[in-house]
Amino acid sequence: MQETLEQTPSKQDYRPPRFPIRFSRHNADDLAKRTTGLIALLASLLVPIIALVLLFRAWPILTSKPLQELLLGTSWHPYKGIFGFLPFIMGTLWVTILAMVITVPPSLLTAIYLAEYTPSRVRSIIKPLIDLLAGIPSVVYGVWGVLTLVPLVEHNIVPLCREHLSWIPFLNSENPTGFGVLSGGLVLAVMVFPIIISVAEEVIHVVPQGLREASLALGATHWQTTKHIVLRQALSGVAAAVVLGFSRAFGETMAVMMVVGNIPQLPRSLFDAAYPLTALIANNYGEMLSVPMYDSALLTAALILLIVVLIFNILSRLVLLRMHRYE
C-alpha cells in the first residue's frame, strides 16, 4: 500500500495534510474566501436582525394592547399608559407627502434637463454641486430652516393666506409661529432633491440612444422625444427614484424636528404644528425609561418607520435592479 503511493503520486491521491496546516498561497486564498464570505453573510443578515431586535423590544406593548388602539388612538399619555400613535403617524404623513408634492416636479425636471438637454461638460460641473447638497448635514438644513423658512412662513406666507386664501381648506391657520407642517415640508423637499435627481438622471441616461434618434428622425421635437419615448422607457426607474426620495423624507429626523413644532396633535392645516414619528423617538428615547411600556412604545415607533422604509426601499431597488439587468 505504502509502496504504491510512493510509486504513483497522481493528483487524485494527494490530500493536503490536515495537521500541521501548511499556510500556502492557496490556503490564503481559501481563507480569504471563507472570511469575506462570512462577513458578507453576517452583513446581509443585518436587516432582519435589526427588524427582529426592534420587534423583540416592541413586543410587550404590541401584545398588551390591540393594534387598532395603538395605530388609531389619538391620545398620547405615557404616564397613564395610553399610547395612541395616530398624531405622530399623521404628522409624518403630512410632512412627507407635502415635501413630495413640492419636490417631485422640480427634481424630475432637473433630472430630465441634466440627462437630456445638457452637454456632458456642463453636467460634470452641476452634478458635484448636487452631490454637495446631499452631503450637507441634516442639522445644517435644520438651522437653515429655522433662520430662513420659519420666518418666511410666519411673516409672509401665513398673513398672505389669512387675508386671501383662508377659504381654501388646509390653508387657515391658528398657529402664531412659523414652526409647522409647511416649514418641515419645505426643508424636507430640499433635502430630497439630490436623491431623486441623481437616481432619476441615471435611469433616464441609460435609455438607448437609438430610440431618441429614431424619434427625432421622424420629426419629433426634443421635448416630444423626451416625453413620449425617453420618459416612457425610464418610467419605472423614475418612479423608483421618487419612492426612494419618499422613504428618505419619511425617516429624516433632525432637520424636521427643528422646524415642525413638535406638538402631538392631528394637523388640520399646512401651518399647524405636527409631531413626526422620528421626532417622537429622538425627543424621548434614552430618558424616562422607567415609565412602564414607554421604551416599548418608542421602539414600536421605530419599528413602524423601519417597516415602511424597508418596503419602499426593497420595491424601488428591485425595480432599479431589473432595469440595470436589461441594460
Partner 1 sequence: MNRRMIEEKLFKGLMLASLLIVLGSLGLIFLTVLKHGLPALNLAMLTQTPKGGYYLGKEGGILNAIVGSLCLAGGATIIAFLLGFPIAIYLQFYATRRRIAEVVRLTMDVLWGIPSIVYGAFAFILMLWLGVRASLLGGILALAFLELPILTRGMDEAFTMVPTALKEASYGLGATKIETAMKVVIRQTAPVILTAILLAFGRGIGDAASVLFTAGFTDRLPDSLFRPVASLPLAVFFQLATPFPAVQQRAYASALVLTALILFISILSRALANKMKKHIIR
**Interacting residues with partner 1 between 107 and 126 (CB under 8 A):** 107, 109-110, 112-114, 117, 126
The only residue of 5, 21, 29, 266 in contact with partner 1, by rule CB under 8 A: 29
82: which strand partners? Answer: 77
Quote the least distance from Cβ 67 to partner 1, whole Å.
20
Quote the least distance from Cβ 163 to partner 1, whole Å.
26
d(CA 294, CA 179): 27
Q: List binders of partner 1 among 149-168 (CB under 8 A).
A: none
Quote the least distance from Cβ 148 to partner 1, whole Å.
5
CB closer to partner 1 out of 162 and 205? 205
CB closer to partner 1 out of 108 and 270? 108
Assess 197 for contact with partner 1 (CB under 8 A): yes
The secondary structure of 147-189 as a DSSP string is IIIHHHIIIIIHHHIIIIITTSTT-----SSS-SHHHHHHHHH
Q: Name which of 98, 99, 87 is nearest 191 in CA terms.
A: 99
Q: List binders of partner 1 among 230-249 (CB under 8 A).
A: 244, 247-248
Quote the least distance from Cβ 223 to partner 1, whole Å.
4
d(CA 294, CA 44): 31
* Number of neighbouring beta carbons within 10 Å of residue 69: 12
Span near partner 1 by CB under 8 A; candidates 155-163, 164-172, 202-210, 253-261: 253-261
Helix locations, 170-285, DSSP H: 181-205, 209-217, 222-224, 231-251, 254-259, 277-284
Quote the least distance from Cβ 118 to partner 1, whole Å.
9
Cα 247 off chain centre by: 3
Q: What are the b/e assignments for 78-89, b being 16+ CB within 10 Å?
A: beeeebbbbbbb
Q: What is the DSSP letter of 1?
A: -
Spell out, one character per residue from 44 to 83, where the chain touches partner 1: x when CB under 8 A holds, - when not: x-xx--x--xx--x--------------------------
Spell out, one character per residue from 273 to 312, where the chain touches partner 1: x when CB under 8 A holds, - when not: -----x--xx--xx-----------xx--x--xx--xx-x
Q: How far is CA 122 from CA 71, 128, 194, 240, 262, in A?
A: 49, 11, 17, 26, 42
Quote the least distance from Cβ 232 to partner 1, whole Å.
16
